[in-house]
Amino acid sequence: MRFSLKFKLLVGFLLSFLLTSCTQKEVPPYVSYLSVSELMQWVIDPAADRIWDSVAWYSTLKGERAVAPHTQEEWDDLRNSAATLMEASNLLMIDQRARDNGPWMNYSRELGSTAKKTLLAVQAKDVQAVFDNGTLIDAACEACHLKYANFNSKKLDK
Ligand code: HEC
């Protein structure tokens, strides 16, 4: 039996397509060691707390009292926390942690971009901007929790 060149080409194309699509199921090189809950408790929450606790203004009987980083070490510590949040936003988007390919990704990216703005504010040693961006980080956490986390009875102590 003789096959036309067109037919042979078609079979060849289909075979190579099948072969490549079978071998394309690559295992990603990374491993997600922590669950979403552990990532929140051990990485994201402590880093966010560091930022939220670092700047504040209190009204006392003797007037305003400000809490802000003073030494370079304190500023560096704050920078590290912002950087941790920034990169942790990527960790939320990989593997089985991502709950979907839509809003979850947007909320995660929002966390990353607000943390990046905080990092820039830290590098500029702009206390007011650190505070303002800290509020934006808080909003990014809340937005995702509202949609995906079921905290019903569990109260988060921030
Ligand atoms: C992209 C979505 C998303 C973002 C952004 C996010 N979280 Fe979460 N977080 C969750 C989900 C989902 C849970 C529930 C995890 C579970 O129970 O499996 C959770 C749980 C938590 C918990 C409770 C963990 C536990 O199991 O006790 C804390 C604390 C927490 N998040 C803090 C934060 C903070 C702080 C931020 C922002 C700096 C943040 N999260 C940003 C999705 C998110």
For 2-59, the pLDDT digits (tens) are 677 776 766 776 766 666 665 666 888 899 999 999 999 999 999 999 999 999 988 8
Pick among 1.10.357, 3.40.50, 1.20.120, 1.10.10: CATH of 34-148: 1.20.120
Bridge partners for 67 per DSSP: 56
What pLDDT is recorded for position 103? Answer: 97
Arithmetic mean of pLDDT, 65-78: 95
| Contact between residue 130 and residue 124 where contact means Cβ atoms under 8 Å apart | no
* Residue 89 pLDDT class (50, 70, 90 cuts): very high
* Closest atom of ligand 1 to CA, residue 85: 38
What pLDDT is recorded for position 21? Answer: 61
Buried b (16+ CB within 10 A) or exposed e, 9-37: eeeeeeeeeeeeeeeeeeeeeeeeeeebe
Is 158 a residue whose pLDDT tops 50?
A: no
Using a 6 Å cutoff on CB, does residue 146 contact ligand 1?
A: no
Pocket probe mutation, ligand 1, options 40, 97, 154, max atoms within 8 Å of Cβ: 40
Q: Where are the domains of the chain?
A: 34-148
Secondary structure E strands in the chain: 56-60, 63-67
Residue whose CA is closest, atom 7 of ligand 1?
141
Q: Give the pTM.
A: 0.84
**What proportion of the chain, given as a percentage, has pLDDT over 70?**
84
CA 29–ligand 1 middle distance (angstroms): 25
Arithmetic mean of pLDDT, 79-106: 97
CA 39–ligand 1 middle distance (angstroms): 8
Range in 14-28, 65-79, 97-111 the model is least confident about: 14-28
CA 38–ligand 1 middle distance (angstroms): 9
